[in-house]
Amino acid sequence: MKVAIIGAGNMGGAIARGLAGGHYIKAEEITVSNPSQEKLDRLKKAYPDMNITNSNKEAAADADIIIIAVKPWKVEEVVKPLRLRQPQILVSVAAGLNFETLAHYVDPEMPIFRIIPNTAIAERASMTLVAARNASEKQIQTMLNLFNEMGLAMLIEEKQFAAATSLTSCGIAYVLKYVQAAMQAGVEMGIKPHDAMKMVAQTVEGAARILLNNEETHPTLEIEKVTTPGGITIKGINTLEHEGFTSAIIKALKASV
């Protein structure tokens, strides 16, 4: 399976690195194209078997999967000249460009995927949203396998994208805001900022792993495990509620749709 990545910026570069460093696709099966050379050279240095080019057409010519990672307003001028058609698969990471629009730039019957990773893709820990149009079950599974190498990929309907990106793309900022607030509390109580950051970040990762590694669990069950009746944690939890924590989170997530 050959993969072309058009655009080697933040997102395209992270996807190229994620795929090349994973098990599903070999670096030699990846071709990345970008107008300026520097980003390509950096990729080539990290993965010498990866193919690089300044020509989008050359990258896409014999690729099975073409991942478009340019800014949304450049997608049309980049995709149209490639004349993509079945059995090729178009993958767009461009935020805000829906299937309806993308289908005008290619053979409208061809499989198209919209992918929204979050910034944790650089750490291979992205929550990646995937929506499919005209794709077979096998193609959908392939796409999930590709992006599961860079974190967790989930298939959703296109109409859920706005709500889901609030939870995942904006969500990263909200989680970091919690980390920042907890650090401020730690510093006031005499902990060094950097130590506080590590303590909170690892605690957040631990909480996430508890949920992701145990299908049967739920935040309420896990909170119950640490809230001894009459103990200190329930006092903190109830203080959060009195101060409007749950309400603030709900309002924030709805505000970013």
Ligand X SMILES: NC(=O)c1ccc[n+]([C@@H]2O[C@H](COP(=O)([O-])OP(=O)(O)OC[C@H]3O[C@@H](n4cnc5c(N)ncnc54)[C@H](OP(=O)(O)O)[C@@H]3O)[C@@H](O)[C@H]2O)c1
200 near ligand X, rule: CB under 6 A? no
Binding mask 39-68 for ligand X (x = CB under 6 A): x----------------x------------
71 near ligand X, rule: CB under 6 A? yes
- Strands 151-155 and 51-53 come out as unpaired
- Strands 126-133 and 112-116 come out as antiparallel
Four-CA torsion 197, 198, 204, 205, nearest 10 degrees = 150
Which is closer to ligand X, CB of 78 or CB of 132? 78
Q: How far, in Å, CA of 240 to CA of 218, rounded? A: 19
Per CB under 6 A, the list member of 16, 43, 93, 135 interacting with ligand X is: 93
Which is closer to ligand X, CB of 10 or CB of 136? 10
Cis peptide before 87 (omega within 30 of 0): yes
C-beta separation of 222 from 207 below 8 A:
yes
Of the candidates 123, 119, 116, 125, the residue with the CA atom closest to the CA atom of residue 155: 116
Which is closer to ligand X, CB of 11 or CB of 66? 11
Which is closer to ligand X, CB of 75 or CB of 183? 75
∠ at Cα 197 (193, 201), nearest 5°?
175
Which is closer to ligand X, CB of 88 or CB of 169? 169
82 near ligand X, rule: CB under 6 A? no
Q: For residues 142-171, which are near ligand X according to CB under 6 A?
A: 169
Interface residues toward ligand X, by CB under 6 A = 6-12, 33-36, 39, 56, 69-72, 74, 78, 93-95, 116-117, 119, 169
